Every structure is written in structure tokens, then in C-alpha cells.
Structure 1
Amino acid sequence: MKILCWNCRGIGNPATVRELKQLLIANDLEVIFLCDTKVQSNKFPYIRSKCRMEGCLAVNACGKSGGLVMMWKAGTKVEIKSYSGNHIDSFIHDENDKPIRFTGFYGNADPNNRKSSWDILKRVGRLVKERWIIGGDFNAILDNSKKEGGRRKPQTLMNDFREVIDELSLVDLKTDNGWFTWVNNREGTAMVKERLDRFLISASDVESSPLIETKVIRQSNSDHDAIVLDTMGRKPREKQRDPRLMFRYDMCWAKEAEAKNIIKNAWKMYTGDIMDKLEKVGHDLGAWQLKKYKMMSRQIDMIKSNISRIIDRPGERCDGNELKAMRLKLGKLLDKEEQYWAQRSRVNWLKEGDRNSRFFHVRATSKKKKE
């Protein structure tokens, strides 16, 4: 079971929807919880359809702030138990049909009203008898030593958060690949980095969940990064082999001088009729194309790692301009990757520019296997 939580800072922007679709497909998610959507619930049938999700429960925003949604894909059984402006509580049935209690949570951004959101969490907790996972943006930290920049948080606010965790017998799950989940994107001493987003789990379930894994996924468009929980994340997986790619004209090639040279050289070098030459050109382009994609995939992974390194640097060494540049570069590469796989897919339900490359990759490679 894979669950994603993300403070998307507004889902009304088409670029944010594309980012969400990329997250869904790239991480093979069953359930997603978004907070601070900034839209009314009547917008979500369209968004749910764009994301190819089966079920959806949305909570209206209050003006231009707040708003929640939980969506789940076909084949995932979800039962909504309760909801408010700060939470959506649900039953999710896992692969063995065992219910997991999952609560998507959004802590009140106003410190003066944060206790009201803690009270909601306590009320839900008193009813829980199952395995319980809570995830979202808590708008709170547990320790000033674990934040960088800005004013120190009042000790009373941190104590309130810690008391909730202790009262409900919860454990804070540390992410495997980073610490900070929010950066205010300012420069120099004005930069602030905090871990606002997290997953909590019932203390009684820790020993029975040895394979559970959580990670941060760096984003190109938001100051909040997404977090993902995978109940089987530490299970060993077989290494997937890179698929052979079908030869089909790629619109990316028109912008590549290297591809034009390969076509010219192959056409001059090989003899035979036009079909023989096309076969040889396709062979040479296919080898070049596979190498090119591997390089692009490595670049994406490298940029995500660089974003993490920049964010995790000590405050005085964290360059806000460098971070913005890296996020911009990541967005461009993700768009290019999507275009690459879109060309290889015979599926037409996504318009060019929608960043859904993992979906295209699955469809294109599975089609190849059938052929």
C-alpha cells in the first residue's frame, strides 16, 4: 500500500495537476491526500478524471485557503469515516483485505487555533482500534533544534504537539532520504527550513510493520515537498530490465542535431532498397535513443539528489537561487521525459504537455511485450 500526502498550495493551476499526475504514476500510488487545495469540492470530478482515480472525497476551501481531498485508484477499497476542514478519516483495505485506518491531517496554520485541530485528531484517535496511520502537513515541529532559520517556535506549541503524540501512543516515522519538507525559498538569513509534513503510526504497530518506508519526493513547483509511505517499501525487489524501444519517429528528434546526423550518416552508409535503409536507420536511432533516455533518467535522479543536498545544507550555505534554478531544471526535464514516452504510447487521452511519463512508459513497454 502506497500513500502520498502533499500540501499542494493550490490545485487550480494546471501545472500543479500535471505535477500530481507525475507523482501518481511515477510512484504507483493507491491513495493520495492533498491539503491546502484552495478550491471548492465541485472542481474535483474533473481533477479526479484527469488523474485517472476511481474515488474522491473533497472538502471545500475557505475562500482562498484550506481545502482537502482524498483520492484513490480503482481496485483500492476506501471507506470514509469522517471529515472536517482539518482532516479526512478513512478505512483502507490492504492487499490482504486487512483494514488500515488512515487519517489525512492538516494542522491549523494559525498558532492561536492549532489546539482545535489537535482536538479533532484526539477525537478520531479515541475511536481507532485498527492499525492507524496519520499523514499530512501538521504545521508544527517537535524541536527547535530540528529547524533552520527564522524565529524560534514557542515551546508551548511544540509541547502541545508532543502531548498529542504521547496521548495517542503514536510514533513519528522518519523519512529515509531527507529531513526538511518545507522551504520558504528566501535568500540568505531570511531562508527558513522546517519539517512540517510527516507520517505518524500507532506505537503498537511498529514491530509488526518492519517493511514500512517513508520518503520525501522533491517537487519542481511547490515550496512543500510530497511525502510517500509504502507499507512494503523495504521488501527486496527484482531489478527491472530496461525495455527495448520500438522504432517510431520521435518529435523530440526534430530538435536534436545529433539525431539528424545519425539519420544522414546511416542513409549514406547503408546500401539496399528503401526498406533496408529504414531498418538500418531505425536500428541506429534506437540505440542512440535508448542511451539518450538513460542519460535523461540519470539527470532527473541527479537533480532530485541535488535539490535534497541544497535543502539539507546548513542555513548559511543553502543558496535559494540555486534551489530555484534546480527546481526549474527538474520541471523542464520531467516535461521532456513525458514527451518522450507520450510519443511511444498509442494512448490519446492525455494532451501533449501533461507530465504523465510513467503512465506512458507502462503503456508503451507493455504494448511492446504483447507484440
Structure 2
Amino acid sequence: MALLAWNVRGMGNRDIVRALKNMCFKHKNDIVFLSETKQKKRYLEKIRMRMKMDNAFYVDPIGMASGLALWWNSEAKVTVLHHDKNFIDTLISINGEDEWFGTFIYAPPYEEEKQEFWERLGTLRNNVNAKWCIMGDTNIVASPSEKYGEASYDHNNAKWYHEFLERSYLMEIQSKGGTYTWSNQRSDEDEIYEKLDRVLSSLEWSFLFPRAIAIIDIHIASDHAPIVLLTNGMMRRVRNEFKFESRWTLEEECSNIVQEEWITSEERQQRGTFRVKLRRTKVKLWKWNREKFGKNRISANDIVNKIKALQDGPTNSEDATSKLSRGVVGR
């Protein structure tokens, strides 16, 4: 099961929609939570249908601020229990399996609202032994190690968060990817990095999903990184199915391969069926593509790794510069 939480900073951006579509395809998300959508239901419904998600629940923005969207596919049974401008609290099960509580949050960024939010969130579960998972934007830097930049670490803001964890018996799920999930997108001495987005769970929930892991993806189009929860851990990759790429049509070799293999299949008279011709042509195109464009594909992977290296640390440090030169990803 895969769940995505992302502070998109507005769904009116085409780059956000494109990045979201790619992530839904990449992770095969069962549930998608978006915060700071800044859009109402009518607009978001059009995007949901493009993402091929079956069901939805929305909290409309206040003016041009905030706004929450929760989408899920038909395999997930999601019942909304409580909601307000900062969270959507649900009961979840997949394919009729064990039920658990899932709370998707966008914690308030304003200091005067933080204490009340964490206290309110703590009242959702009267049973401390509940199977409970929380994910989203906490708007809290939990420790000095989760912050880089001139702005100082605020112990008072973190106090309410840590008290909530203690009262609710929750812990943070291990994450892979970058160290930080938010950046002010400035450079040199003005840059600031923080870890604000995370996944929390109760011990009972972790017993239900002992291999669960959170993936901090790369920043694309938003100042927040998306975070993906994989309840069954990292799965082995399977070979991608064959897909004809439009760029092949620009190469004369492609046309020659198709003509040659089609005629050869006819001459060999191996049933002469459409399926046989198609299979032989597909194999030849696949081999040709690997030889022709293999190096370009590796270069694209290097670019993604370099973006991850930027996400994992400040750009003006010798360590980050070294990572970029090697294409090293974050932890």
C-alpha cells in the first residue's frame, strides 16, 4: 500500500499537476493527500479524474489560503471521521484487511495556533492502544539537526509537538531520501533547509506494518518535498513493459527496423500472424533503443540523483558540492 502526502503550495500550477501525475504513476498510490491546494472542489475534481483516483474528500480553502484534498482508489476503504482546516481524520482498510486510523495533517504555520492544534489532535484517539498513523506537514522542526540556515531553532514550537508524541505514544517512522523536506529556495548565506514533513505511528500500527518506510521524494514545483509511505517497505523492481517512444519516429533507423523485421517475418512464414510480426519487431526495437539511447537514460538518472543531493544539504557547503559532483543521493 502506498500513501502520498504533499504540501503543493497551490494546485493552479501546471508543473505541480504534471509532477503529481508522475508520482502517482511511479508509486501507484492508493491514497493521495494534498495540503495548501488553494483551490475548491470543482477544480480539484478535474485533476483527480486525470489521476484516475476513484473517491475524494475536500476541505475548501479559506479565501486563497490552505485547502485540503484526500483521494483514494477503489481498493481502499476510507471513512472520514473528523476534519477541519488543518486535518482529515479517517478509518482505513485495504481489500477488507485490518482497519487502522489515518490522520492527514497540515499543521498551522503560525506560532499562536500551534499549541491548540497539537492538543486538539491529541483528543482524536481516546484509546492509546489504537492503530494510528499520521502523515503530512507538521510545520515543526523537531530538533536542531533538522534545520540548516541562519534562523535559529525554536525550542518553544517543538515543545508542543514533543508533548503530543509523549501523550499519544507515537514515534516517527524511518525515512529514506533527503534529510530536509522544505527549503526557502534561496542560495548562499540566505538559504534555509528544514524537515517539516513526516510520518508518525503508534506501536500497534507498526506491528501491523513492520516493514513500513517513508520516502522523501525530490522537490519539484513546490518548496515542500512529497513524502510517500510504503506500508510493505521497498518492493523489488520489475522490468517495465514495452512502450513505443515517440522520439523513435525521428530516427530513420527505426523505420528501417520495422520494415526489415516485418518483411523477414513474412519470408520465414512462421504462421505469418500479426502477433508474431509484432513480437519480433518489438524485440529488435528494444535492443536498438538500448544501444541507441542507453547513455541518455543514464544521464537522466544522474540528474535526478544530483537533485536529491541538493535536497540533502546546503548548496554552499563543500560536502554538498562533493555530492553533486558524484551524484550521491541523500540518506
**TM bucket, shorter chain:** 0.7 to 0.9
Alignment match, 1:75 = 75
Pairing 1:187–2:182 present: no
Distance 1:73 1:282, change over 3 A: closer
Matches within 5 A, 1:53-72: 53-72=53-72
SS at match of 2:125: helix
Distance 1:130 1:281 in 2: 56
Q: Which runs of 5+ in 2 are unaligned?
A: 268-276, 324-331
Distance 1:58 1:128, change over 3 A: farther
Distance 1:63 1:302, change over 3 A: same
Which moved further from structure 2: 101-110 or 306-315? 306-315
Post-superposition Cα deviations, 1:194-232, rounded to whole Å, max 9, x if no partner, equal 100000001344355321111111143222111111111
Alignment match, 2:161 = 161
Distance 2:85 2:216 in 1: 25
C-alpha contact (below 8 Å) 1:3/1:29 kept by paired residues: yes
Distance 1:109 1:116 in 2: 12
Distance 1:128 1:8 in 2: 32
Distance 1:265 1:56 in 2: 46
Q: Return the letter of the residue paired with 1:125.
A: R
Alignment match, 1:226 = 226
Q: TM-score, normalised by structure 1?
A: 0.74
Which moved further from structure 2: 197-206 or 122-131? 122-131
Pairing 1:310–2:302 present: no
SS at match of 2:70: strand
Alignment match, 1:241 = 239
Distance 2:26 2:78 in 1: 22
Alignment match, 1:366 = none
C-alpha contact (below 8 Å) 2:257/2:284 kept by paired residues: no
C-alpha contact (below 8 Å) 2:78/2:93 kept by paired residues: yes
SS at match of 2:123: helix
Alignment match, 1:89 = 89
Alignment match, 2:13 = 13
Distance 2:293 2:81 in 1: 44
Alignment match, 1:253 = 248
Distance 1:81 1:292, change over 3 A: farther
C-alpha contact (below 8 Å) 1:187/1:319 kept by paired residues: no
Q: Return the letter of the residue paired with 1:109.
A: P
Q: Cα distance, 1:303 vs. partner?
A: 2.5
Distance 1:99 1:17 in 2: 31
Distance 2:294 2:75 in 1: 32
Q: TM-score, normalised by structure 2?
A: 0.82
Identity of aligned residues (%): 24
Distance 1:274 1:242 in 2: 25
Q: Return the letter of the residue paired with 1:45.
A: E
Q: Cα distance, 1:14 vs. partner?
A: 2.9
Distance 1:311 1:147 in 2: 12
Distance 1:62 1:119 in 2: 22
C-alpha contact (below 8 Å) 2:77/2:92 kept by paired residues: yes
Distance 2:78 2:233 in 1: 21
Q: Which runs of 5+ in 1 are unaligned?
A: 324-371
Alignment match, 1:142 = 142
Q: Cα distance, 1:75 vs. partner?
A: 1.9
SS at match of 1:63: coil
C-alpha contact (below 8 Å) 1:4/1:31 kept by paired residues: yes
Distance 2:58 2:191 in 1: 33
Alignment match, 1:359 = none
SS at match of 2:176: coil
Q: Cα distance, 1:297 vs. partner?
A: 5.0
SS at match of 2:215: strand
Distance 2:283 2:307 in 1: 36
Distance 1:265 1:232 in 2: 42
Distance 1:129 1:295, change over 3 A: farther
Alignment match, 2:214 = 214
Post-superposition Cα deviations, 1:103-138, rounded to whole Å, max 9, x if no partner, equal 001110111222232132112133675310000001
Higher helix share: 1
Post-superposition Cα deviations, 1:244-281, rounded to whole Å, max 9, x if no partner, equal x37x6x531344xxx225656998x99x79977x9998
Q: Return the letter of the residue paired with 2:11.
A: I
Distance 1:184 1:319 in 2: 20
Alignment match, 2:271 = none
Distance 1:283 1:305, change over 3 A: closer
Post-superposition Cα deviations, 1:323-361, rounded to whole Å, max 9, x if no partner, equal 9xxxxxxxxxxxxxxxxxxxxxxxxxxxxxxxxxxxxxx
Alignment match, 1:353 = none
SS at match of 2:112: helix
Distance 2:292 2:166 in 1: 51
Matches within 5 A, 1:339-354: none
Distance 2:126 2:13 in 1: 38
Q: Return the letter of the residue paired with 2:239.
A: R
Distance 1:167 1:281, change over 3 A: closer
Across the aligned residues of Structure 1 and Structure 2, the Cα RMSD in angstroms comes to 3.3
Alignment match, 1:52 = 52
